[in-house]
Structure 1
Amino acid sequence: MNRGLMQLFVKISDTKNFTKAGKELYMTQPAVSRAVAALEAELGVKLIARDRRCGVYFTDIGERILGLFKEILTYFERIDQEVAREKGRDTGIVRIGVFPSASSFFIPKIISSVAENYPKIEFILHEGTIDEIKERLTSREVDVGLIVPSGRDELITFPLYREEIYTVLNENHALAAKSVIQAGDLMDQPLIICKYDYKPPVRDWFKHSGIQPQFKYVLNNYMTTLNMVQEGLGIGLMSELSTINLPNKVIIRKLDPKWYREIHLAVSSLTDSSIASQVFIRTALHLFESRSNLENSLVKKLGHQIVPRDDFRHI
């Protein structure tokens, strides 16, 4: 059992295919099959099975061992980065989980800033819903995630950005004449909501106003919401980042009372995070938080600085 074999198992999990996993690791399909069979024989348990309909899948014990392999590989990466750091070469890979409306706003700025000072750090992006990102953080498929936190999360998070929630409507709608929209204005309107990204804060706004909303359309994609509003099919409730590039004939109006959504950076364990991940976190907080908030949030969580200040030359 070695590092290469662990990487192979993780790649099989990612691709759900022996041939694709082997190709990415420069192995033939027979070599992959032999490696899997050898490990199963060594351990005396079945780790991976195949089904004509489902393809490749991991058994229960296979899933548990896969999780351990992922955790062990993170330590290998940390060792590599510590050695590179000692040699004066900051390097590493950061796997980032991000939801679509945040991706285009945050990620280019953060990566550009990191690359300016640490050109050898690489990035792998995983887009998905906020719930999917939280699951990937827990399973360590990603190192850092951008999420909207809830009280049920067992993650280490740092406030990154506070964005306002708006009403989004067609410019020809009767409510377009109002400067602000109250919950009562929307009672008889066909409402559109994005299930994963906006439903919790919007639901809380209506609850605060003492009104139970009825959503006509519950969607998964914020661009679909904007296009439906453009066609006059309803009124959307969306966050600031989703309304940066509005289609023609679509306008926004503020809510009364004002309401916000918090976007946080999240990791499953900050003390286990690689140097490259810590660089990403500190850079993101530096770009989107004030310096005092940056220091307070890090020190409050850890009781000390995660990495000496001299190692972050851009701050």
Structure 2
Amino acid sequence: MKRLLVLQKIVELGSFTKAADKLGYTQSAVSQIIASLEEELAIKLLYRSRVGIRLTLEGEELYPFIQRAVFQHQAMQEKADEIKGLETGLIRIGTISSISCHWLPGLIKHFQELYPKVRFVLHQGDYTSIPEWVRTGEVDFGFVNPDAVSGLETQFIKEGELRAVVPADHTLAARPSVTLEELAKEPFLLLEEGNLSEPLEAFRALGLEPDITLRVHDDYSILSMIETGLGISILPELVLRKTNYDVAILPIEPAVTRKIGLVMKEQQTLPIACKHFLAFLMRNTTSLP
């Protein structure tokens, strides 16, 4: 298993040297570990070139099996931790940027005051990638809109409003509120969130099609583009906290909302650290913005 973990880290970082530094080995030891694995499998797994490290064709075919073996090994270790009690543990979360910025820092800080040895790994994705990570075991659970998920257990947490965001000098900027009909006439910057878009659903419910000029995966890139006058957008109110962009943020009439919830496999299969964190989260939902 140590050899598989070393291979995974090399592929992740694209470098023997970086993997050795990360894992606390010498570069020579890492090279020997990979050579030993390749000798046992009788297959060359990695190709070295001037631009870095990449999997060989044979390595690419084997790598999904190697990833599953690593995930299963981690699950076994977490189960052993569960048997011993919540002395340590690893919580792997799929998350979207607004949750990473405005929910998780406080939650993690206060949870680690109770369980200081529990570690967290955050994978930032969208409404498509996060449920898939749950299915493959790459994360234990994730934050998504429950309406975007099928075939997995979900749990609703909160609902929040979306806001219109326009350049500070836009003709709509001085308005107390705007309508979707008004926004549909403007160049629209769409936040790509995977297989569900709350703004698009709201437009289509009224028979409207916005003039989408750009599709962007990052909330804060959209804010920067709006600031420079490239268009307008609709973003979650949670995203718009603690921002210093020179834009106007306006309520939408009637209100447009989004749901935030959890997606996970069956709760009884979760590691004990995850169960404790989820219970902690649900006890503290009222304090979440």
Answering whether residue 33 of structure 2 is matched by residue 35 of structure 1, we say yes
**Paired residues for 1:41-52 under 5 Å:** 41-44=39-42, 46=43, 48-50=45-47, 52=49
Answering whether residue 252 of structure 2 is matched by residue 263 of structure 1, we say no
Q: For residues 49-92 of structure 1, give each alpha carbon's deviation from its aligned partner in whole angstroms, at most 9, with x where no partner exists.
A: 31535622242123223212212321122202321x1xxx5321
How many Å apart are 1:152 and its aligned residue? Answer: 5.1
Instruction: Tell me the residue number matched to 2:21.
Output: 23
Residue of 89, 99, 103 corresponding to 1:106: 103
Question: For residues 133 and 256 of structure 1, do their structure 2 counterparts lie closer, same or farther at Cα, with a shift above 3 Å needed?
Answer: same
How many residues end up aligned between the 2 structures?
Answer: 283
- What is the rounded CA distance, in whole Å, between the counterparts of 2:63 and 2:247 in structure 1? 50
Indicate the SS of the match to 1:251. Answer: strand
Question: For residues 4 and 248 of structure 1, do their structure 2 counterparts lie closer, same or farther at Cα, with a shift above 3 Å needed?
Answer: closer
- What is the rounded CA distance, in whole Å, between the counterparts of 2:170 and 2:223 in structure 1? 14
Q: Unaligned stretches of 5+ in structure 1? A: 291-315
- What is the rounded CA distance, in whole Å, between the counterparts of 1:198 and 1:107 in structure 2? 24
How many Å apart are 1:199 and its aligned residue? Answer: 6.6
Instruction: Tell me the residue number matched to 2:70.
Output: 69
Indicate the larger mover: 226-235 or 157-166. 226-235
Q: For residues 166-197 of structure 1, give each alpha carbon's deviation from its aligned partner in whole angstroms, at most 9, with x where no partner exists.
A: 11123443223443322221232122222237
**Paired residues for 1:103-252 under 5 Å:** 103-151=100-148, 153-196=150-193, 200-247=197-244, 249-252=246-249
**Paired residues for 1:1-12 under 5 Å:** 3-12=1-10
Q: For residues 144-179 of structure 1, give each alpha carbon's deviation from its aligned partner in whole angstroms, at most 9, with x where no partner exists.
A: 322234545444332222121111123443223443
Indicate the larger mover: 270-279 or 249-258. 249-258
Q: Indicate if the aligned counterparts of 1:198 and 1:239 stay in contact, CA closer than 8 A.
A: no
Question: For residues 60 and 17 of structure 1, do their structure 2 counterparts lie closer, same or farther at Cα, with a shift above 3 Å needed?
Answer: same
Q: For residues 228-282 of structure 1, give each alpha carbon's deviation from its aligned partner in whole angstroms, at most 9, with x where no partner exists.
A: 3333332211111111134365232222332211222233453332111112211
Question: For residues 175 and 24 of structure 1, do their structure 2 counterparts lie closer, same or farther at Cα, with a shift above 3 Å needed?
Answer: closer
Question: For residues 267 and 21 of structure 1, do their structure 2 counterparts lie closer, same or farther at Cα, with a shift above 3 Å needed?
Answer: farther
- What is the rounded CA distance, in whole Å, between the counterparts of 1:124 and 1:260 in structure 2? 29
Indicate the SS of the match to 1:255. Answer: coil
Question: For residues 198 and 153 of structure 1, do their structure 2 counterparts lie closer, same or farther at Cα, with a shift above 3 Å needed?
Answer: closer
What TM-score comes out, normalization by structure 2 length? 0.84
Question: For residues 252 and 29 of structure 1, do their structure 2 counterparts lie closer, same or farther at Cα, with a shift above 3 Å needed?
Answer: same
Indicate the SS of the match to 2:284. Answer: helix
How many Å apart are 1:205 and its aligned residue? Answer: 0.5
What is the root-mean-square deviation of aligned Cα atoms in Å?
A: 2.8
Amino acid at match of 2:111: V
Instruction: Tell me the residue number matched to 1:304.
Output: none
- What is the rounded CA distance, in whole Å, between the counterparts of 1:69 and 1:50 in structure 2? 21
What TM-score comes out, normalization by structure 1 length? 0.78
- What is the rounded CA distance, in whole Å, between the counterparts of 1:164 and 1:198 in structure 2? 20
Indicate the larger mover: 72-81 or 176-185. 176-185
- What is the rounded CA distance, in whole Å, between the counterparts of 1:64 and 1:150 in structure 2? 31
Give percent identity, aligned residues only.
Answer: 27
How many Å apart are 1:115 and its aligned residue? Answer: 1.6
Indicate the SS of the match to 1:264. Answer: strand
